[in-house]
Amino acid sequence: MIEFRKIDSVFNPNPGDSWKPVAKAAVIFFLVGYILYVLKEIIVGILSLICFGIGAYLLWIAFRLWRIKPPY
């Protein structure tokens, strides 16, 4: 027969249960979230720097072409 856990036992654990495993899980999730946030910012920063560099390079090429060609 299938037995279901009562939802109250999740939110109101037994008084004898330790709080340390729950606190460790909370700290791990906070750290993983923080690491993912920092990595996201680093990746976006690198991609924006690459796009800025490509744009500057293309603008430099356009300027050189403008200076080389005689006006019509």
pLDDT-derived band at 34, boundaries 50, 70, 90: very high
Render pLDDT for 8-27 as a digit per residue (tens, 0 to 9). 555 566 666 677 887 888 88
DSSP H helix total and E strand total for the chain: 2, 0
CA dist 55 and 2 (Å) reads 63
pLDDT of residue 69: 80
Give CA–CA dist 35/25, Å, rounded: 15
* Confidence grade of residue 6 (pLDDT, cut at 50, 70, 90): low
pTM, entire model: 0.56
- For tokens 């495993």, the residue is 21
Which pLDDT belongs to residue 19? 75
